[in-house]
Every structure is written in structure tokens, then in C-alpha cells.
């Protein structure tokens, strides 16, 4: 049994690498898009705020699986053909972006108004207020839910296997198909996902301490 699994290890490693790659892309792209849209939602002119609000509410109201199938099978109907890999990345990024927007909005909204006023009173411009007063504080409140979201992104990336992409989940299913060793392989898969997410939550705890306003 171990021999058969050992034989499949390079294949599984490839799947694992793809899982990490998809997760990384989704996390980075959604962070960038989410921060831009989030700032638009909090500080933008009314039409932009409405647009972001509608985007965020719509996306968050759709099951992620539906979103993936919609992007891959639905968009070709309007002439947008994406490779399965990019369709999956796009769908997951849209989903994650809507979450980042909400985390950012919540984090910025939780900073008392007096902070902005104190920053205005010493003569900081809007951008300076964001850069030196609001974001450093909002970052600390943004971090915990966002890291949670990152671990969700890693786990959620398993859905890309449904488009036939050979990520860790798909690789495991294929090896099981050949070896009929379901139990040890699923345990191996679970351990790998767990290892990534556990490392992330450790890193998050470190970061939270690093940015706490009260020194331990």
C-alpha cells in the first residue's frame, strides 16, 4: 500500500503546488482589488459606493460553486472564453474580493471619528490621514478576519477540481481511482491542507502581537 502511494507522491506534490499557486493568486489579487474597492466604498462618491455595494452584496449572495460554474460555463455565452484554470482563479478572486471589501469597510468604520479629526487638526491631508493614522489602526482590525479568509481561500481552492484542474484534491481523487487507498490518501490530503492553514494562523498570531497597541 505504502509503495503504491509513494509511487504517486510526485504527482500529489504537483497537485499540492497547484493548490498553493491558485490560493496565492486568489489571495493576492483579491487583496489588491478588495482594498481598492473597499476604499471606494468608504470614501468614494455616491455612484462608486453604490456600484461596490451592489457588487459585494451580489457576489456574497451567490454560492461559490455557482460562481465557478457561471464563470466557466456561463461566460462563453457572452463571448468570454477562459481556460479552466483562469476561470477558477477569476471566480474565487471575485468571491474573495467581496469579502475583503467588507473586512476593510468594517475595519475602517471601527476607527473612531476623533482619529480623523485629530489628524485633520494637525494639518494632515486626506492621503496622509489614511496612510499614517487610519490604515495603521484599521490594519490591526483587518488582519484577523482576513487571515481567516485566507485559510478559507486555501480550503475553497479544492473546488477548482470540479473544473478538471489537477490541484491537490483532484490529484488525490485520481490516485485513489488507481489504488483504491481512499483512507490514507484523504488523511494525507487533510494533513497537507491543515499544515498550510495552521502555519497561516501561527503567522497571524505573530502579526497580531507585532501590531498590538499594548506591549506585552
Q: How does 44-64 read in b/e, with b if 16+ C-beta sit within 10 Å?
A: eeeeeeeebeebbeebeeeeb
DSSP 73: I
C-alpha cell read off for 87: 476561470
Residues 208, 140 contacting (CB under 8 angstroms):
yes
Question: Closest separation between CB of residue 39 and another protein, Å?
Answer: 15
- C-alpha closest to that of 5 among 143, 142, 174, 179: 179
Helices then strands, each counted (H, E), the chain: 9, 0
Q: Which of residues 102-121 bind another protein (CB under 8 A)?
A: 112, 114-115, 117-121
Q: How many residues bind another protein (CB under 8 A)?
A: 23
Interface mask toward another protein for 176-215; x: CB under 8 A: -----------------------------------x-xxx
Measured from the CB atom, the residue of 7 and 132 that comes closer to another protein is 132
User: Residue 10 burial (CB < 10 Å; 0-12/13-18/19+)?
Assistant: exposed
Which residue from 19, 23, 137, 170 is in contact with another protein, where contact means CB under 8 A? 137
Question: Closest separation between CB of residue 215 and another protein, Å?
Answer: 7
Question: Closest separation between CB of residue 27 and another protein, Å?
Answer: 25
Residue appearing with cell numbers 496622509: 128
Does residue number 140 form part of the binding site for another protein (CB under 8 A)?
A: yes
Which residue from 45, 47, 61, 123 is in contact with another protein, where contact means CB under 8 A? 123
Question: Residues interacting with another protein, by CB under 8 A?
Answer: 112, 114-115, 117-126, 128, 132-133, 136-137, 140, 211, 213-215
Amino acid at each position: 500500500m505504502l509503495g503504491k502511494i509513494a509511487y504517486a507522491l510526485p504527482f500529489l506534490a504537483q497537485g499540492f503546488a497547484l493548490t498553493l499557486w491558485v490560493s496565492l493568486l486568489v489571495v493576492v489579487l483579491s487583496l489588491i482589488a478588495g482594498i481598492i474597492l473597499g476604499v471606494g466604498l468608504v470614501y468614494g462618491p455616491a455612484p462608486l459606493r453604490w456600484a461596490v455595494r451592489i457588487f459585494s452584496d451580489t457576489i456574497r449572495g451567490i454560492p461559490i460553486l455557482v460562481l465557478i460554474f457561471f464563470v466557466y460555463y456561463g461566460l462563453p455565452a457572452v463571448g468570454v472564453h477562459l481556460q479552466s484554470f483562469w476561470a477558477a482563479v477569476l471566480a474565487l478572486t471575485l468571491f474573495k474580493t467581496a469579502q475583503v471589501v467588507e473586512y476593510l469597510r468594517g475595519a475602517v468604520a471601527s476607527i473612531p471619528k476623533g482619529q480623523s479629526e485629530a489628524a485633520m487638526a494637525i494639518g494632515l491631508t486626506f492621503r496622509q490621514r489614511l496612510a499614517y493614522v487610519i490604515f495603521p489602526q484599521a490594519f490591526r482590525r483587518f488582519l484577523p478576519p482576513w487571515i481567516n479568509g485566507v485559510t478559507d481561500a486555501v480550503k475553497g481552492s479544492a473546488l477548482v477540481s470540479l473544473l478538471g484542474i489537477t490541484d491537490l484534491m483532484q490529484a488525490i481523487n485520481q490516485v485513489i481511482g488507481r489504488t483504491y487507498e481512499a483512507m490514507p490518501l484523504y488523511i494525507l490530503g487533510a494533513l497537507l491542507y491543515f499544515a498550510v492553514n495552521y502555519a497561516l494562523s501561527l503567522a497571524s498570531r505573530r502579526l497580531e502581537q507585532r501590531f498590538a497597541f499594548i506591549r506585552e
